[in-house]
């Protein structure tokens, strides 16, 4: 205990000596990475996409990267997992779960010479960054594709919970569809779980029964899309390219490439130049979020989508440029203004062409 | 509106079937005096094995046989603990539950999220002459049909045949049944295994019909709902049909309402199954239907030498 205090004092003094509070993080040694997953690496979605980043890090840095699966969002359990890796000599801990935020704050404070990354977390520290993806960029373009494909002008979207970063997926999907095909409506339904394939399939069937001819899923599994494929409808996948399971109806998938950000980040960490950016959003420009190749719509429509994508990457277009009107008719962003990133994190409305409740 | 109604009615039986299968399985168990809380794990292991077989090229029949086989194997372990060794039934059930969930996750790790052919509804042509509304309700897959027919058969066997009456005697008063010459152990083990077949079929229904794939944890508490539905249906397979249909109807209404774009609060919709359960309990309480249906020797292990 005394030794630990001494060490803490020493590192505190070291920080004082360099004279910067938000300094670059000095790792305890050569970078050694470890991953913590909320689900299993074969879940076909959230953890699967993060495991792909683990594999590309392994390739880039030629090291074995240990991982632990199925760690629940319970602070002590997460801390135990982190301590295990740190005691083992690992000094870069990467995870992806909102519910890990508190554990990561505590552990980042306890281990100043380790770097912590928590995808979709909300906490930050000098050596802890919680970043997320501008998923709305991918969903806007997917919405355009769905708008071009639909004949009934009715799209269905299946969601987990009505929380801000889910609502911005729904809203950008609806805005993209409206831009491509004015008058298109998006039906939205929540499963109230991160994964329940039986319910996802049932809701998908109900939406198709009520006229939807494109089903988009914001969930881990492709259960909802399988129903669409069977009924001869179009689908939009999420997190990984779902084209393999629904080859005849897939329009695109909104995919994460976390490795695009993590690989350069670890390079900075190794050279001692990495600084936490707090809780940033990374988008198409960095390649963290992309759309899988568009299929089953005319080439002319695809080039229109590509044009918008180019403007998005160049920064001259955002789905959040006004006018944006919500379901109740309230103007959320007037013409010429734009919804800020802070306001995105507080999003509590659905745009006018979304059908469905949000409370 | 009428479209919504017919879609609602047509999707209700498939929602109800997995609950019904698991509930009649548990009724058979509990009527013989054995409470099996491992049902969630049994459903999981049957669901995953059926998917693995279907993915590896086995047809639906083989998938169901394999799923049921795996479920019954796990049930046999429970039966060995609960009936032969007379371990505390609640504990044995919880161990079976945990084991089933763990083993299913392990077995299914390489098979997650891969679509299976699964089971489709019966050919629509068979019902073409009926009015659309009736055709919608009747055009289900064969496992859903089986669930409802089996419930009636189970009710008949349990209440109208000799073996059924002996099985219930074992659950009501094991020493008396024993004195009357009924082999208590054999009846209990038989009931546990037969019940396991139905619980395993419920798991196969979820993965082969409900989701057409496997992911870890996909039974998602449905086994526990079945445990509650046994009490709700007062240990009667006929009332289990009513309870399952009620629950299925409410569950089937949720996606219909959600996707209709009606402005109903999500939390109210999510609450509806529990409201329905509450209403059912209230009605049952008001009219005191079958008040003391609970088998008297439920969870009570039987040992001939032991005095009561």
Residues A171 and A317 in one domain: yes
pLDDT tens-digit series, residues A21-67: 456 888 888 899 999 999 888 887 889 999 999 999 999 999 999 99
Q: Which residue of A has its CA nearest to B256?
A: A206
Pick among A45, A206, A208, A242 to test the B interface (most B CBs inside 10 A): A206
Is ipTM strictly over 0.85?
Answer: no
Give the lowest-confidence range in A320-334, B114-128, B160-174: B114-128
3-state secondary structure of B95: helix
The b-or-e profile of A263-291 (16+ CB within 10 A means b, else e) is bebbeebeeeebebeebebbbbeeebbbb
Quickly list DSSP for B239-263.
HHHHHHHHHHHHHHHHHHHHHHT--
Residues A218 and A312 in one domain: yes
Residue A283 maps to a domain: no
Distance of alpha carbon B104 from alpha carbon B214, whole angstroms: 10
Residue A153 maps to a domain: yes
Residue A275 maps to a domain: no
Distance of alpha carbon B213 from alpha carbon B48, whole angstroms: 9
Distance of alpha carbon B55 from alpha carbon B73, whole angstroms: 21
Six-digit token string for B94: 């919880």
Residue A348 touches partner B, C-beta closer than 8 Å: no
B11, B114, B220 member nearest A196 (Cβ): B220
Distance from CA of A202 to the nearest CA of B (A): 7
B216, B259, B266 member nearest A206 (Cβ): B259
Averaged confidence pLDDT in chain A: 90
Domain boundary among the residues A96, A130, A164 is at A130
- The answer to whether B246 and B280 have CB atoms below 8 angstroms apart is yes
**How high is the pLDDT of residue A190?**
86
pLDDT at residue A16 tops 80: no
Lookup result for tokens 């590309």: A56
**How high is the pLDDT of residue A332?**
94
pLDDT band, residue B292 (cuts 50/70/90): low
State the residue range of the domain holding A105: 2-130
Residue A89 maps to a domain: yes
pLDDT at residue A358 tops 90: no
Chain A stretch 38-57, residues whose beta carbon is closer than 8 A to a beta carbon of chain B:
39-40, 42-45
pLDDT, mean of residues A11-21: 40
B7, B109, B256 member nearest A40 (Cβ): B109
| Beta-carbon separation of B113 and A359 below 8 A | no
Residue A169 maps to a domain: yes
**How high is the pLDDT of residue A220?**
86
Residues A43 and A108 in one domain: yes
| Beta-carbon separation of B266 and A44 below 8 A | no
pLDDT band, residue B280 (cuts 50/70/90): confident
Q: Which residue of B has its CA nearest to A222?
A: B113
Task: Provide the residue count of chain B.
Answer: 308
B285 vs B109, more confident: B109
Residue B221 touches partner A, C-beta closer than 8 Å: no
**How high is the pLDDT of residue B291?**
54
pLDDT band, residue A10 (cuts 50/70/90): very low
**How high is the pLDDT of residue B290?**
55
**How high is the pLDDT of residue A5?**
46
Distance from CA of A96 to the nearest CA of B (A): 18
Residue A282 maps to a domain: no
Residues A119 and A143 in one domain: no
pLDDT band, residue B279 (cuts 50/70/90): confident
A190, A197, A220 member nearest B211 (Cβ): A197
pLDDT tens-digit series, residues B174-228: 999 999 999 999 999 999 999 999 999 999 999 999 989 998 888 988 899 899 8
pLDDT tens-digit series, residues A122-149: 899 999 999 999 999 999 999 999 999 9
Secondary structure letter of residue A155 according to DSSP: E
The pTM (predicted TM-score) of the whole model is 0.83
Residues A30 and A150 in one domain: no
Domain boundary among the residues A130, A158, A189 is at A130
Distance from CA of B301 to the nearest CA of A (A): 37
Residue A223 touches partner B, C-beta closer than 8 Å: yes
Residues A23 and A46 in one domain: yes
Contacting residues for A172 by C-beta, under 8 A, at least 6 apart: A135, A136, A137, A139, A140, A143, A319
Q: Are strands A132-133 and A185-190 parallel, antiparallel or unpaired?
A: unpaired
Six-digit token string for A253: 């998938």
Six-digit token string for B67: 């799923």
pLDDT tens-digit series, residues A310-332: 999 999 999 999 899 999 999 99
Which residues of chain A make contact with B12, given a CB cutoff of 8 A?
A: none
Q: Which of A246, A296, A157, A96 is nearest to B213 (CA)?
A: A246
Residues A43 and A191 in one domain: no
Which residues of chain A make contact with B109, given a CB cutoff of 8 A?
A: 40, 42
Residues A214 and A65 in one domain: no
Q: Which of B29, B36, B81, B301 is nearest to B174 (CA)?
A: B301
Domain boundary among the residues A130, A148, A167 is at A130
pLDDT tens-digit series, residues A68-88: 998 999 999 999 999 999 999
| Beta-carbon separation of A210 and B256 below 8 A | yes
Residues A246 and A151 in one domain: yes
Residues A193 and A324 in one domain: yes
Pick among B258, B268, B271, B274 to test the A interface (most A CBs inside 10 A): B258
Residues A183 and A69 in one domain: no
Query: How many separate domains does chain A show?
Result: 2
pLDDT band, residue A161 (cuts 50/70/90): confident
Q: Specify the CATH class of B2-287 in words.
A: mainly alpha
Which residues of chain A make contact with B205, given a CB cutoff of 8 A?
A: none
CATH code: domain of residue A297? 3.40.50.2300
Residues A242 and A346 in one domain: yes
Which residues of chain A make contact with B215, given a CB cutoff of 8 A?
A: 43-44, 195, 197, 220-221
């Amino acid at each position: 205990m005394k030794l630990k205090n001494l060490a803490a004092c020493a590192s505190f003094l070291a920080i004082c000596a360099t004279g910067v509070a938000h300094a670059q993080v000095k790792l305890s040694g050569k970078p050694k990475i470890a991953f913590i997953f909320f689900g299993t690496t074969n879940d076909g979605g959230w953890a699967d996409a993060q495991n792909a980043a683990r594999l590309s890090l392994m390739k880039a840095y030629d090291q074995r990267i240990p991982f632990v699966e199925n760690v629940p969002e319970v602070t002590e359990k997460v801390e135990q997992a982190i301590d295990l890796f740190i005691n083992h000599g690992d000094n870069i801990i990467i995870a992806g779960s909102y519910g890990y935020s508190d554990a990561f704050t505590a552990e980042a404070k306890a281990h100043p010479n380790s770097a912590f990354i928590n995808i979709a977390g909300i906490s930050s520290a000098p050596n802890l960054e919680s970043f997320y993806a501008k998923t709305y960029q991918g969903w806007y373009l997917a919405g355009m594709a769905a708008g071009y494909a639909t004949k009934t002008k009715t799209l269905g979207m299946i969601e987990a919970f009505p929380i801000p970063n889910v609502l911005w997926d729904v809203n950008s999907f609806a805005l993209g569809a409206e831009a491509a095909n004015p008058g298109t409506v998006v039906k939205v339904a929540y499963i109230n779980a991160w994964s329940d394939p039986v319910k996802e399939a049932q809701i998908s069937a109900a939406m198709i029964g009520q006229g939807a001819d494109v089903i988009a899923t914001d969930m881990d599994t492709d259960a909802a899309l399988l129903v669409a494929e069977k009924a001869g409808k179009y689908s939009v996948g999420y997190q990984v390219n779902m084209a393999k399971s629904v080859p005849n109806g897939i329009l695109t998938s909104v995919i994460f490439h976390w490795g695009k950000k993590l690989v350069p980040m670890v390079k900075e960490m190794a050279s001692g130049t990495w600084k936490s950016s707090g809780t940033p959003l990374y988008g198409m420009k960095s390649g963290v979020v992309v759309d899988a190749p568009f299929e089953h719509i005319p080439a002319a429509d695809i080039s229109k989508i590509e044009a918008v994508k180019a403007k998005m990457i160049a920064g001259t277009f955002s789905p959040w440029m006004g006018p944006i009107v919500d379901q109740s008719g309230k103007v959320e962003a007037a013409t010429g203004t734009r919804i800020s990133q802070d306001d995105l994190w507080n999003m509590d409305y659905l745009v006018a062409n979304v059908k469905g409740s949000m409370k | 509106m009428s479209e919504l109604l017919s879609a609602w009615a047509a999707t209700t039986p498939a929602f109800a079937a997995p609950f019904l299968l698991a509930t009649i399985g548990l009724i058979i168990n509990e009527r013989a005096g054995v409470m099996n809380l491992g049902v969630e794990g049994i459903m999981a292991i049957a669901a995953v094995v059926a998917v693995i077989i279907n993915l590896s090229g086995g047809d639906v029949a083989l998938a169901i046989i394999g799923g049921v086989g795996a479920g019954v194997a796990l049930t046999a372990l429970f039966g060995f603990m609960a009936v032969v060794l007379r371990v505390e039934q609640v504990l044995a059930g919880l161990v079976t539950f945990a084991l089933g969930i763990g083993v299913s996750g392990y077995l299914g790790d390489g098979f997650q999220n891969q679509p299976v052919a699964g089971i489709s509804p019966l050919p629509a042509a068979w019902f073409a002459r009926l009015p659309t509304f009736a055709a919608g309700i009747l055009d289900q897959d064969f496992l859903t049909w089986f669930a409802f027919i089996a419930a009636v058969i189970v009710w008949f066997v349990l209440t109208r045949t000799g073996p059924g009456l002996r099985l219930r005697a074992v659950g009501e008063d094991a020493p008396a049944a024993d004195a009357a010459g009924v082999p208590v152990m054999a009846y209990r083990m038989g009931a546990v295994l037969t019940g396991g077949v139905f619980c395993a079929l419920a798991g196969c229904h979820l993965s082969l019909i409900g989701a057409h794939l496997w992911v870890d944890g996909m039974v998602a508490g449905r086994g526990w709902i079945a445990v509650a539905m046994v009490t709700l249906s007062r240990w009667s397979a006929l009332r289990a049909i009513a309870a399952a249909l009620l629950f299925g109807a409410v569950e089937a209404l949720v996606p219909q309402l959600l996707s209709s774009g009606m402005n109903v609060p999500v939390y109210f919709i999510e609450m509806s199954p529990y409201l329905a359960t509450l209403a059912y309990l209230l009605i049952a309480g008001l009219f005191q239907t079958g008040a003391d249906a609970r088998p008297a020797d439920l969870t009570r292990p039987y040992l001939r030498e032991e005095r009561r």
